[in-house]
Amino acid sequence: MYDYLEIYNGENTQAALIGKYCGTNNPGKIVSTDQSGALTFKFHSDEGLANNGWKAIIKCLYENDYIPEDFINLIPNPGADNCIVRVYNENILSLSVRDVVGNLVLRKQGINAKECSLDMSSQQNGIYFFQIETPSRKVVKKWLLKK
């Protein structure tokens, strides 16, 4: 058996296999055609020779600079005390957090960064809604506080 890389056209290894690559067999440029836009990489290694590794260059590109909503992440989710709000490709201008009945529990303005950490330790367990404003849009994401 040899080391090899499998690339799947989707979110997991149940998706269609694009190819299996071994040795100097270079897959070249691969573009996902899956509805999610995802590719899954699975590397297999045997216990044989231990030589130099390999290098992959992975880029996520979107037509017309469209950025899907999952490029705004709340990490971790669910979380215990702190939540990191992370936005890719643009800065967070402001954000507000509301509890499940709509009460404002936190607001931050003038953030102007791609990432912001929030201390939610004084809040009760439950579901919270984060409204994140960037230069191009406002997005609401759900976060679960579970201590």
Closest Cα to residue 128, out of 111, 109, 147?
147
- In tens, the pLDDT along 33-72 reads 887 778 899 988 877 777 676 677 776 655 544 455 557 8
pLDDT the model gives residue 1 = 55
Give 55: exposed, middle or buried? Use CB within 10 Å, 0-12, 13-18, 19+.
Answer: exposed
High-pLDDT (> 70) share of the chain, %: 88
Distance of CA 18 to the CA centre of its chain: 22
Instruction: Read off the pLDDT of residues 69-110 as tens digits, 9 standing for 90 and up.
Output: 557 889 999 999 999 999 887 899 999 999 988 999 999 999
Q: Which of 3.60.110.10, 3.30.1120.10, 2.60.40.3080, 1.10.3720.10 would CATH assign to domain 67-145?
A: 2.60.40.3080
Parallel, antiparallel, or unpaired for β 82-87 and 115-119?
antiparallel
Looking up tokens 């216990």 gives 47
CA–CA separation, 91 and 113 (whole Å): 5
Instruction: Indicate the domain borders of the chain.
Output: 1-61, 67-145
Tell me which amino acid residue 9 is.
N
The strand pair at 4-9 and 138-145 is best described as unpaired
Q: Which two tokens stand for residue 107?
A: 């607001």
Residue pLDDT, tens place only, 23-34? 777 788 888 888
Residue 70: its pLDDT value, please?
56
| Model pLDDT, residue 83 | 95
Tell me, what's the pLDDT at 65?
47
